[in-house]
Structure 1
Amino acid sequence: MGNTHPGATSPLGMVSACAYSGAYPTGYGRYTKNTEGVPEEMFGQLQASGFTHFQQSGTGAIRKYYNYVRVTPMVQPLDVLGEAWPLRDEVAEAGYYAATLDTGVRCELTVGPKVAVHRYTFPEHTSARVVIDLSCGGLESELGRTVPVRAQVESMGHGRAQGTVVMEGVPLSVYLDVDSPGWRQMLWYDRRLIDGGTRLDFDSIRHTTLRPFGLLFMGPAVAGQTVEVRLGFSLRGCEQAKQNLERECGPAQQAFDAVRSRTRARWGEHLGRVEVEGGTPARRTVLATSLYHSLIKPCVTDDESPFWPTPGPFAFDVCTMWDIYKTQLPLLAAIVPDRAADLLESLIRICEEEGNFPIGYRMSRGADRFFRQASALAHTILADAHALGWAGLDWNWALVHMAGDLRRMYGEDFYEHGVVHPITHTLDLAYAHHCTAQVARALNDRRLADDLEDRGRQWTNAFDPDTGLLRDSEFYEGGKWNYSFRLLHDMAARIALAGGDKSFIDKLDRFFGFGAAPVTQPGRRPQPAEMLAGYALNRFEGLNNEPDMEAPWAYHYAGRPDRTAQVVKAALTWQFGTGPGGLPGNDDSGGLSSWYVWASLGLFPIAGQNLFLINTPAFARAVLKAGGNEFVIETSGHRETPIGVDGLDHDPPPQYVQSATLDGKPLHATHLSAATVHRGGRLHLRLGPEPSAWGQGSRPPSLSDPPAKPEEAR
């Protein structure tokens, strides 16, 4: 249910490549579309009809699913193109994927940021072929197809070809270089060869008129003969696609090993920015895999925007801000700040060009606004970036867009009434006003900052003072309990509104099921009544969704970091594993995996507040290379804990922080500023088997707190 795929990717790169079965939601695998319960099989076995490019990673119902430019090695007639063959002997590594089709062809894929290279090893055959299908898009499931509206393909001879397909308003261009000496090269349409033709043009394609089309390379093969297919991609035309191919593959043929080696080195360098010591092999594997998944999306590419002509970064597959703003964006800001800055520059440009910051943004014309999910979430990462002193952005221009975006869509009603339904958007907008106020104040626009901060205090309008929970409303993929423990900018006032520490902790305990009976999870095709009964429990969703991912750390604000340690330890132990099904829900472009990384390190970012909360780490020692500096988290008294989902039948009790030092000086607070972490330093945590008084008296900051002393602000 993680909805990831094992295909070849490059860190935050534009291109991915994977075996294509047409299954939900990445195009790889066996399962059909599913949003509740256990998924049903679409196919009885792993299979592939070829290998496609551009896959989602970990998303749910994202509506359109890419899988463009299918490449199929065949030893059968073109008539059977589209049929699938069983897969065996799969190998998946960072930047590399391989499998053998039931036809006997060994298939290997690797990618660079803007290129893909395929290598096929054929059995002996008199008429082997490699078929490029430029019409492919989407899934085989109902309503899953993506159809090009315009296309052109040109065969240029000598193993070279190029083409452009317009998918969802975006012109995706590809330049091909195929190393197949002596093979014939032809265009095809509707599974029929076009002998002697050099160009296909389609000015208007509809679902009813679409027939598959593309290119074919065909000839005899001796046993063990390899054919290499090199593809350069661009959103700005075939000439730029060719330049991308030449830049990443070079002029020489047989580029596969060189591209694979460079991508593997890039992954090694990126994954090396988080280092750990200790932990079981399974736990280290889950951490490394989580870090890998956190660095696949968004796609951040230079000079590739099809919507504005000027150079600069272009980001897509922001799927969606609702999924990634709490955990993944702070992780990218820490370990790949240059790419995170490029993402922000692209978001600002999207707002400038299209009129609003997107909640979701894919490789398609126009932002996916996902208006039901949330409002104004880009403001959190912008506020954090400014607090960290990122100088590469035009902050005055960014502030103009941040302030302007606050009055769009639900923001207009919030501006007029101070409350809006769905009620969760009241929290979003109040928080975004607070984040924007911090930037305005830092830029000395005090009048704007005061106005924004006043409106940011209207988060209280979302809560019912009689219950201490959110008011009745509609809720996206959750209920009022799931959203009621969001970490706001004034948690002290939030806890007071709930009746004080004890009342707030009692509600949290109920939410996390302390003392409650076990819950039965839904199976295949759960009935509506079964799902409603589950939602009515008003319980923590167990990390299979976004609304309450940060809720375990709400205990910190009520002086109970020991409760946070219990909940987080249980989640790390029982909800993640090394095999298929090792994620408790959709990975959502890396949002869930990023949660695991932070929780394992014993840190948790509070997006928009320049703040990290401290908790018991899962490893004896870790190094976070943030912004080029090393922040070390080390422990004494650490005890290894296994991962329970791997079949172990015991659950060691959690450990608790007894005391802490930062760079050798006592640290009584349960938090650090993000700036402190990014500057580097050494955090030492002494752990023990029983809860302690550490952190009970020095709580994370809230807006209504008196001004902090300089040593507390650190």
Structure 2
Amino acid sequence: MRILRSHRRPCPVRPPSRPSNPTRPTGPCRTKRTTRPWRRQGPATLVACATLVAASCAGRPATQQPVVVHTTAASGGAVAATTVDDPAQYVNPFVGTQSPTDDYGGGGMAGNTFPGAVAPLGMVQWSPDTVSRQPGGYVYDDNRIHGFSLTHISGAGCGDYDNVPFMPFLGSTPVASSTFSHTNESASPGTYSVTLDDGIRTDLAATPRSGIAQFSYPAGQQASLTVDAGTAANAATGSITLGSAQLSGYTDSGNFCNSGNHYRLYFTVAFDHPFSQASVSGGSLAQLSFDTTTSQTVTARVGLSFVSVAGAQANLQAEQGSDTFGQVQTATRASWDSMLSRIAVSGGSSTDTRTFYTALYHALQDPSVFSDVNGQYIGFDGQQHTVAAGHTQYADFSGWDIYRSQIQLLALLAPQQASDIGQSIVNQGQQDGYLDRWTLANTGTGVMVGDPMTIIASDLYAFGATGFDAQTLLQLAVTGAENDKERGDHEGYDAMGYVPASADSESASVTLEYASADFAISQLAQRLGNSTVWQEFLHRAQDWRNLLNSGTGYIGPRNTDHSFQAQDPTSSSGFAEGTSSQYTWLVPQNLQGLIATLGGDSAVSSRLDAFFGHLNAGTNAPYAYLGNEPSVATPWIYDYAGSPSRTQAVVRQALTTLFSDAPNGEPGNDDLGELSSWAVWAAVGLYPEVPGRSELAMASPLFPAITITRGNGVVINLNAPAAADNAPYVTGLTVNGAASEQPWLPESLISNGGTLQYALSSTASSWGSAAADAPPSFDVGPATPVTGQVTGLAGKCMDVLHSQTASGTPVQIWDCNGTAAQQWTLASDGSVQAFGSCLDVTQSGTADNTKVQLWTCNGTGAQQWWPRPDGSLLNPPSGRCLDLPNSDTTDGNQLQIYDCNGTGAQKWTVP
């Protein structure tokens, strides 16, 4: 699906200024599964004036500028903690609302964010909607606002919400839209303000479940307002009931990405002026007028609920009471400061600081509060439920996107809220019978591919957000792996180790996503002490090998008969929003295995260098597409391939060229904070590379001092005195005072905290490049290879014919004789090797009686042999076992694969 894009305007001559009225916002700048639409945007081709605009927004020259920070005295030689005053002042909510120049298909070209008022993880997201549409509701280059709606989705490639727009106007005839200038507009965390060209000023502020607006009308004119329950991003209907100075009602909408989802949202609005005129047309459009002779500002208080009007009223009363607009504004800004200050940075330029805190702000908006203040919410079963006291149900999970780094960031900074998010996933799964990929309000949409909710839950648990029913989640994940709704086309994946091309047009990417989910399930199972599920799903997580075409060196779609489809590395055939060039790297759980299969460290580093020849090349290119999720983890692969200096260089280049603090400062759809979270991790210089794990791959910090204070009190300090935009290279590191050469950090840093001291340079070094220092990968064979005889029936040995080493040499049964032809190594990659070559199924066959042979090791599924508890050796892509034909122990009988049957012909004793 392609979204109509707006016309690009020249760079604004003058940026918005900070408002002087104390009641106005303050801040530095006003600043498919069912359907699987193609919904991405192009690269952030930064306009020349972006830096000047961003700098002048803050009233300073575009140079190094002071950032207000403090350090707390430390004892015993420890690095002092960094704190930051009012980090909300560095946020520009307009970032992501303007398009760069290229569009790579669907979702518009901008980050699709919105500039309006929202509290951290808030239900109310009250923001202007322009006539030109983007899924965030607001197009920076359009100067026409047609309403201020109460709910939004930040950064998605498809539109939904934008419910119940309020539109102020003069006189008795409603307007379709009103024009405005960015010079009369401002925004900062929790608040938004604009003066329209007709002279009406609108100020918005929000709490988690309520909002407050001030509509200030010119003197001497009729002050009017429409409230529309029948308008949203998609088709909507609704109902409004009027009182003398209040109204209430509901709106029905949905159909995110044409998925057919549905939700009902209730609202209540209390005005401080009685209606001088009021009417409702069509049952859903209220037209109101007010007598503003003595007071030109009309205040409206709004409560929202997905349960009932009574719930909306209770939410409004609990979260606002009689607070003034200024008090609501101040309290929400304080909430943002509390969240944003959990990563305090100092020493960088104002541009870098604004880019950083804006990204952190966008990464902390979703998932959003869904339950009322009394804990009630409508579940995925359509029934009313109540969460435990002190807890919250959350909604809006952009699963395919946020599992990569946003949810880990949220768990790192806010483990209590993240635990409730974990329980929200459990609740969704129990009520719906499966875990949908992309959920909105209380329904699934089936959008995108894979099984991401299981990854999200495992990520949460790994990062310490453990306060949810993880045992039930694990049960849901295991059963969901065989649920058609959760894992479409799972039958082929279960039987052959991959989704065949005939079953799904995006089969290769689906397979890779399932393998990542399987690994995450295995890790959660291991943490919960379930060794059976751990082992089973750890093995399933290696199914990526079944799509690795050793002839081309790319992962690609495969047919039911196990043949590979003809493949063009620049084609997206077989993949969701990417190419085989981009998806071949999507094996985060076993990068060492992938690197070995692709030729080793040197070959992979060179291949990555070519891949990063362009950083944001789109969906039909052999290069990186860092504005889209399948590519976001790739820069850290150098850490695994002995070239961490290249990770440091590429991450820094991407961060400083694809992201900025200007409205066009995002290189793709933000996808409910995923892309923004990438920028946060990149600036800190750490990244959660592996699903379901909390080890962190390393780049380098952008700021000289960073302090991460987790919501549970754990503190991580990063000190890098020489940090600068042009000094990304690590030349030395100490972790808690001990020198380290490892370009990664263990899980203990997340759980216990610690101090990192960096030496940085503008010149690359060999730090961290030793093979022994690479980050851990997770394969299925023994960590240390084991060598010895493989014996079967009658105590005879598996043997290489005549000790020949050529590819294609038969593997047979023979009297044990102690020769090298009978010395087999169980390797860590799941292969069984002799003479440096691998036990292989001839021509990757899968039929009964297919013979086995010795062949050059190529990392494919045809060379995977997984020991099972009954003593058999399973070849996963065929689903068959290593077998002695007819149980005949005659010397020279060539081995084969055959249906696993538990007979002695399939029992092998391995080293």
The TM-score bracket by the shorter chain reads 0.7 to 0.9
d(CA) in 2 for partners of 1:65, 1:395? 31
Residues 377-434 of structure 1: per-residue CA shift (max 9 Å, x gap)? 2222322333345442222211110111212323332112211141122222122222
Equivalents in 2 of 1:693, 1:506: separation in Å? Answer: 16
Distance 2:696 2:235 in 1: 42
1:177 and 1:230 in contact (8 A); partners too:
yes
Specify whether residues 71 and 389 from structure 1 end up closer, same or farther in structure 2 by C-alpha distance, changes over 3 A only: closer
Kept after mapping to 2: 8 A contact 1:75/1:125: no
Superposed, which structure 2 residues align to 1:232-311 within 5 Å? 232-250=303-321, 252=322, 255-302=324-371, 303-307=375-379, 308-311=383-386
Does residue 582 (structure 1) correspond to residue 582 (structure 2)? The answer is no
Q: What residue identity is the alignment partner of 1:228?
A: T
Matches within 5 A, 1:216-227: 216-222=287-293, 225-227=296-298
Aligned pair 1:174/2:267, yes or no? yes
Aligned match of 2:170 in 75, 100, 109?
A: 75
User: Aligned partners of 1:424, 1:235: CA distance in 2, in Å?
Assistant: 35
Distance 1:410 1:519 in 2: 33
In 2, the alpha carbon distance for the partners of 1:105 and 1:117 equals 16
Q: In the aligned structure 2, how far is the partner of 1:453 from the partner of 1:537?
A: 32
Question: Which residue in the other structure is 1:334 paired with?
Answer: 412
Please state if 1:156 is matched with 2:253: no
Distance 1:122 1:297 in 2: 34
Alpha-carbon distance change, 390 to 128 in structure 1, aligned in 2, over 3 angstroms = closer
The CA deviation string for residues 480-525 of structure 1, in whole angstroms up to 9 with x for no partner, is: 0111112422222111111111221221111112xxxx8998xxxx
* Equivalent residue number for residue 21 of structure 1: 130
2:680 to 597, 602, 612: 597
In 2: Cα distance, 1:574 partner to 1:678 partner: 33
- Are residues 656 and 358 of structure 1, via their aligned partners in 2, closer, same or farther at CA, if it must alter by over 3 Å? same
Q: Which of 1 and 2 has greater Rg?
A: 2
Residue 329 of structure 1, CA deviation? 0.6
1:569 maps to 652
Q: Is the 8 A contact 1:154 1:162 kept in 2?
A: yes
Deviation at 1:238, TM superposition (A): 0.5
Identity %: 28
Displacement of 1:54: 0.7
- The equivalent residue for 2:543 is 458
Is 2:394 the partner of 1:315? yes
1:659 counterpart residue number: 732
- What is the alpha-carbon distance in structure 2 between the residues aligned to residue 154 and residue 367 of structure 1? 30
One-letter code of the match for 2:429? C
**Contact persistence 1:25–1:59 (CA under 8 A):** no
Residues 694 and 750 in structure 2, CA contact (< 8 A), matched pair in contact too: no
Give 2:757's aligned residue: 684
- What is the SS of the residue equivalent to 1:51? strand
Match of residue 92 from structure 2: none
How much does 1:614 deviate?
1.5
Matched position secondary structure for 1:661: strand
The 8 Å contact of residues 47 and 87 in structure 1, kept in 2 or not, is answered as no
CA distance 1:385–1:545, change in 2 (3 Å): closer
Q: Give the 5 Å matches for 1:358-507.
A: 358-363=436-441, 366-370=443-447, 373-388=448-463, 390-408=465-483, 409-420=488-499, 421=501, 422-472=507-557, 473-507=573-607
**CA offsets 1:517-538 (integer angstroms, 9 cap, x no match):** x8998xxxxxxxxxxxx75540
Q: CA RMSD in A?
A: 2.2
Maintained 8 Å contact 1:122/1:224 = no
1:45-194 → structure 2 map (5 Å cutoff): 45-60=142-157, 62=158, 64-78=159-173, 80-87=174-181, 89-138=184-233, 145-148=234-237, 151-157=238-244, 159-168=245-254, 169-181=262-274, 183-184=275-276, 186-189=278-281
Q: Deviation digits for residues 243-280 of structure 1, max 9, x if unmatched?
A: 00111111x3x631221111111011111011111111
Preserved contact between residue 714 and residue 753 of structure 2 (Cα < 8 Å): yes
- Structure 1: 5+ residue stretches without partners: 32-40, 139-144, 191-199, 201-212, 522-533, 642-651, 709-714
Per-residue deviation, residues 283-313 of structure 1 (Å, max 9, x unmatched)? 0110011111111122133335323422123
Once the two structures are superposed, what CA deviation does each residue of 1:626-680 show, in whole Å capped at 9, x if it has no partner? 2421101111433x22xxxxxxxxxx4x431112111101222111123423421
Structure with the higher helix share, 1 or 2: 1
Q: Which amino acid aligns with 1:53?
A: L
Secondary structure of 1:260's aligned partner: helix
Give the alignment of 1:613-692 within 5 angstroms: 613-626=697-710, 627-638=712-723, 640-641=724-725, 652=726, 654-692=727-765
Do 1:388 and 1:675's aligned partners in 2 also have CA atoms closer than 8 Å?
no
Alpha carbons of structure 1 residues 28 and 165: separation in structure 2 relative to 1, 3 Å? closer
Residues 667 and 569 from structure 1, CA distance in 2 versus in 1: closer, same or farther, beyond 3 angstroms? Answer: same
Cα distance, 1:224 vs structure 2: 6.2
Quote how far apart the aligned CAs of 1:100 are. Answer: 0.8
Contact 1:21 1:27 in 2 (8 A): no
| Structure-2 change in CA distance of 1:487 and 1:300 (3 Å) | farther
Say which SS state the counterpart of residue 778 (structure 2) adopts. Answer: coil
> How big is each residue's C-alpha offset from its partner over 1:412-470, in whole Å with a ceiling of 9 and x where there is no partner?
32112211141122222122222212222333332232222222222211211223321
Amino acid at match of 1:309: Q
Q: Which residue of 2 aligns with 1:37?
A: none
Letter aligned with residue 216 of structure 2: T
Name the counterpart of 2:789. none
1:189-219 CA-to-partner distances (Å, cap 9, x unmatched) read 05xxxxxxxxx5xxxxxxxxxxxx3334323
> CA distance change for structure 1 residues 392 and 677 in 2, over 3 Å: closer, same or farther?
closer
The residue matched to 2:541 in structure 1 has which SS? helix
SS at structure 1 position matched to 2:393: strand
- 8 Å Cα contact 2:645-2:767 kept in structure 1: no
**Under a length normalisation based on structure 2, what TM-score does the superposition of the two structures give?**
0.66
Are the aligned partners of 1:486 and 1:554 in contact in 2 as well (CA < 8 Å)?
no
User: How far did residue 110 of structure 1 move?
Assistant: 0.6
The 1:689–1:170 alpha-carbon spacing in structure 2 relative to 1, beyond 3 Å, is: closer
Q: Does 1:344 align with 2:418?
A: no
After superposition, the C-alpha distances for 1:85-105 in whole angstroms (9 at most, x for unaligned) are: 335500111111000112211
Distance 2:188 2:765 in 1: 43
CA offset digits 1:107-153 (Å, max 9, x no partner): 10011101111101111235322322221211xxxxxx4222xx332
Q: Structure 2: which amino acid aligns with 1:69?
A: V
Q: 1:174 to 1:283 in 2, by over 3 A?
A: same
